Structure 1
Amino acid sequence: PDAPDRPLATLTYAILSVPFGLVGLWLALMIGPNTVRNLLYGFFVDGSYATSWGGPTLAGAWTVHAALALLLVPVGLWLVRGLTALQRRLADALLGGRRLPVAAAAGSVAVLLGAGLFLTAWLHQV
């Protein structure tokens, strides 16, 4: 059945997809600007590098930040890909009338709970 014939399923999908969209947006905003900032670390940070990762020299701090940025980009993109796959399965189940696989349902709950915990920890750090 088409989505217009199932208003409750459409509303449910709309409500459930908001957290997925927010997590995806947050990941995209973390991947892009943080990668650029860490690759250009030496231009953004002034002062002592004694407490910086890779410090106490600018060269060491810049190297560590750039290396971590390059290593974390594929991880972030992989997370976005997985998030997209989960959202697609949710859409297929709710809007396409298919059954939601147990693994997809459990994965969705795990992603949303994990994102909430990570966001809470991140906000306390900032």
Structure 2
Amino acid sequence: MTSIKPIATDILRAAALLPVSVARSGTALKGHTPHRLRRLLHAGTGILLGAVAFVLVGMELLVIARGAFYGFVDQGPYDHSWGGPTLAGAWLVHFLASLPVVAGGLGLLWFIADLDDRLGARFVRGERTGAWALPAALLLSAGAVGFVIAWIHQL
């Protein structure tokens, strides 16, 4: 059974994956090791997954602000808000609606950390990790690009 501490550590690792992967690429470019290309591939997939995690962390912060802290960010009136017409009702409904969204986002960050571990094992150490890891990382990255484009268009 997985304990809470490694899950939290994985989530934090995923949140920091973009700068860590940029540093990985710099380190891979410096040396002339026989595994230079493999390290660059791992850094490249880490940059993609780190960008996805960056967007996801931003969305998590937005959901927390608009859920748990709803009463502080929206000053009313609450007549047409979910749970309105009172501040207490609107705040409660927004908080409860944010819980599964936050949980799903944390689960995705955990999955991103696992993907990065699997791709590192595959590219850097040459281990067999299953053929699904690289397509999953690319599909997740493409989905994040589509999400950001849709988000920008709705502004």
TM-score under structure 2 length normalisation: 0.68
Structure 2 CA distance, aligned partners of 1:71 and 1:89?
27
Q: Which residue number corresponds to residue 47 of structure 2?
A: 18
Alignment of 1:97-108 (within 5 A): 97-108=126-137
CA RMSD, Structure 1 to Structure 2 (Å): 2.1
2:57 aligned with 1:28 = yes
Q: Which residue number corresponds to residue 76 of structure 1?
A: 105
Letter matched to residue 110 of structure 2: R
SS at match of 1:96: coil
Deviation (angstroms), 1:100: 4.7
Deviations 1:58-92 (A, max 9, x none): 33321221112222221111110111111111111
Deviations 1:12-47 (A, max 9, x none): 222221110111122223223531442121121123
Among all aligned residue pairs of Structure 1 and Structure 2, give the percentage whose two residues are the same amino acid: 36
TM-score under structure 1 length normalisation: 0.82
Structure 2 CA distance, aligned partners of 1:47 and 1:40?
13
Alignment of 1:87-98 (within 5 A): 87-98=116-127
- Which moved further from structure 2: 14-23 or 40-49? 40-49
Q: Which residue number corresponds to residue 5 of structure 1?
A: 34
Q: Which residue number corresponds to residue 90 of structure 2?
A: 61
Letter matched to residue 27 of structure 1: L
Q: Which runs of 5+ in 2 are unaligned?
A: 1-27
1:56–1:36 Cα change, 3 Å: same
Aligned length: 124
